[in-house]
Structure 1
Amino acid sequence: MITEEERAARSARARDAAVAAATDLGLDASGAAVVYDVFSVVVDLAPSPVVARVPVVTPRGTDSAGFQRTELAVSRWLAGRGEPTVVPSGLVPAEPVLRDGFAMTFWEKVDGVLPPDYEVVKRMPAVARLHSVLAEYPGEVGFFPGMQGYVDLAFDDLAGRADLLPAADLARARAEWAALSPAIASPEAFAGVFPGVPVQVVHGDAPYFNLIATADSVLYSDFEHVGLAPVEWDLAHTGAEAIAAYDAAAVDLGLRPVDPGALRAAERLRDLQAVACLALAPQLPLLVDGLASTVETWRGTEPWA
């Protein structure tokens, strides 16, 4: 496990890399400060109105720069449509920048951010609205990006790590993944298992959580995992009340209601994604406690069949 001192040093290296890259791009980052440090180190490049996001904890085999390019493209497209979205900074090229071993992106700073309100039910209309717009995205995105390959590698890394996941849990997770993963191998495979459930471009990572509120607007953000999937992928484990709120908003927007079978599969896939995330605990020890309740809830469910 990485120590707290090692984590702090990693954060400082990411900050320094962001400052150096920003300076090379002509920005004044003399007042730069880290404002967030979990999977990514987020650096406020003050006095420039720019924020750098520097991933520091990434799954083995992940193409971070590829995900970043897609995120930048989707965010720019949404902003071009007039959607309230956190946008790439217009002061630097909208592309990933490599510096000192880090791949980073630069974003327009949002001022006046309000304390987060994670009331999921009341955020569902915004999620439905986002889906209605993303359904028209013309660019190329991956299918369930980050799942194929990542989960198998993560389970391999968890083998023999009973301190992170007991062997019996790992065996069950592997069996469930073997049963579910063929359905998300391709759009055609998904259609064969879930006929009548279309796929489209979706946010990919809890869009109801990744909303940034100011006094004047609510902004969509963090499209790092945007990809092609059923809308249920964005709605897993939100609860019956939230699903009802989403369905009500979806009807008004001409979208389909949530499919119970696809939702159930998406929720189990999210469970397995969380279990696999434990493989990152050596890089981010807080995941052990942070995922404990999720893993315990999954452990108490009936195995997927």
Structure 2
Amino acid sequence: MSEFMSPEQLADRTERALTAAAEAGRDLGLEVTEPTVLYDSFSVVVHLKPSPVVVRMPTVLPTFLTDLDTQSQRQRLELDVAGWLARQGLPVVTPSPLVPAEPVRRNGFSMTFWQFVEHDQSAEPDYVANAAAAAKLHHNLRDYPGQLSFMSVLDMIPSCLDELGAMPELIDAADLDRARAEWELLEPVLGSPEGFARAFPDAEVRPIHGDSPPFNMIPTADGLLYSDFEDPTLGPVEWDLTLVGPDGEAAYNEAAQALGMRTLDERLLAVLTSTRMLQVVACLAMVPQMPPMLDGLKEAMEHWRNLPLAGGLGEG
């Protein structure tokens, strides 16, 4: 039986993160008089008012990523990718120019510092337009010179499924059996570039965002900003376009063609959509760290159960 964090423990974690961000900001020479939590889910995000700086601290993570050295390594990559894109002229949320672009550790948290941007609260999300904008991001990311691993964003799946074996209160045996069977089909294809090339020889492997860029764009008075580069990886562009729907896919294809890029492979997109939903199922292992997300995950699992296993991989 897993021990779920209580509301009091969650509030205490948020308060400790807020204090750590403020203290670290002051140590770096920033004026911090009214630190304010902007967001609290998988990360705690703090605006160090009145400084135009936002701090992000991961707080809900797969077990294998809770080590601070591992977190810092991932955060350096995130800072590097966002900074590089900004230097290419792409509209992104940038690392703060007021402090070094390096992760900072404080009181058990590893944190990064970002330029504060004012969200346009009147803007309704337009995920179809965002999907089209993802093509420009992919076009620019193609030339990213840093070192990326192949589909590293999926490393959480086997680790979390192993942990879920000891969490019957979160997933029943039939669902866990399905999840394990699905990963057994997917891993030979998505576990290495060689396996992927055998299954999808016409799909290009390239630097991608890694975490659904159409759902990670921030509307501002000056336009959309790409954000949240926590999971950059090598992989097919289809991974970034899962769950955008037919209209989003069509918008991406039109924008991609205008940039001289290939359109989406429907068979690959189906396989990766199932993979994305399996990743959501794997997130159940993190529910003890954030119990309020359980209801949303249960709803997503209903959709997952109705999908073909592994997107039909291996059929026919």
Question: Do residues 94 (structure 1) and 120 (structure 2) align?
Answer: no
Question: What pairs up with 1:112-127 in 2 under 5 angstroms?
Answer: 112-115=119-122, 117-127=124-134
Question: What letter is aligned with 1:252?
Answer: A
- Partner residue of 1:212 out of 197, 212, 218: 218
Partners in 2 of 1:125 and 1:302 — Cα distance? 27
- Between the aligned residues of both structures, percent identity stands at 47
Q: Which residue of 2 aligns with 1:294?
A: 300
Range 62-71 or range 82-91, more displaced? 62-71
Q: Deviations over 1:116-172 (max 9, x none)?
A: 533321222211111111111111112212312x21221121114232111110011
Partners in 2 of 1:35 and 1:244 — Cα distance? 34
Partners in 2 of 1:297 and 1:67 — Cα distance? 31
Question: Do residues 281 (structure 1) and 287 (structure 2) align?
Answer: yes
- Partner residue of 1:55 out of 55, 58, 73: 58
Q: Which residue of 2 aligns with 1:144?
A: 151
Q: Which residue of 1 aligns with 2:138?
A: 131
Question: Do residues 42 (structure 1) and 48 (structure 2) align?
Answer: no
- What is the total number of aligned residue pairs between the two structures? 304
Question: Do residues 203 (structure 1) and 203 (structure 2) align?
Answer: no
Q: Which residue of 1 aligns with 2:188?
A: 182
Q: Which residue of 1 aligns with 2:245?
A: 239
Q: Structure 1 runs of 4+ off > 4 angstroms? A: none
Asked whether the 8 Å contact 2:218–2:224 carries over to 1, the reply is yes
Change (3 A) 1:26 1:144: same
Range 136-145 or range 271-280, more displaced? 136-145
**What SS does the aligned partner of 1:195 have?**
coil
1:13 is displaced (CA, Å) by 0.5
Asked whether the 8 Å contact 1:160–1:167 carries over to 2, the reply is no
Q: Deviations over 1:51-100 (max 9, x none)?
A: 10011111111232222111100111111011111000011110111111
Q: Which residue of 2 aligns with 1:24?
A: 27
Question: What letter is aligned with 2:186?
Answer: L
Q: Which residue of 1 aligns with 2:164?
A: 158
Partners in 1 of 2:30 and 2:143 — Cα distance? 35
1:31 is displaced (CA, Å) by 1.1
Partners in 1 of 2:44 and 2:168 — Cα distance? 29
Q: Which has the higher helix share?
A: 2
- What's the RMSD between the two structures over aligned residues? 1.3
Which runs of 5 or more structure 1 residues have no equivalent in the other structure? Answer: none
Question: What letter is aligned with 2:309?
Answer: P
Partners in 1 of 2:119 and 2:14 — Cα distance? 25
Question: What letter is aligned with 1:52?
Answer: V
Partners in 2 of 1:50 and 1:297 — Cα distance? 38
Partners in 1 of 2:94 and 2:31 — Cα distance? 19
Partners in 1 of 2:125 and 2:150 — Cα distance? 27
Change (3 A) 1:251 1:146: closer
1:302 is displaced (CA, Å) by 3.2
Q: Which residue of 1 aligns with 2:199?
A: 193
**What SS does the aligned partner of 1:296 have?**
helix
Partners in 2 of 1:116 and 1:96 — Cα distance? 32
- Partner residue of 1:225 out of 231, 234, 240: 231
- Partner residue of 1:10 out of 4, 10, 13: 13
Question: What letter is aligned with 1:212?
Answer: I
Range 115-124 or range 185-194, more displaced? 115-124
Asked whether the 8 Å contact 2:127–2:244 carries over to 1, the reply is yes
**What SS does the aligned partner of 1:42 have?**
strand
Question: What letter is aligned with 1:51?
Answer: V
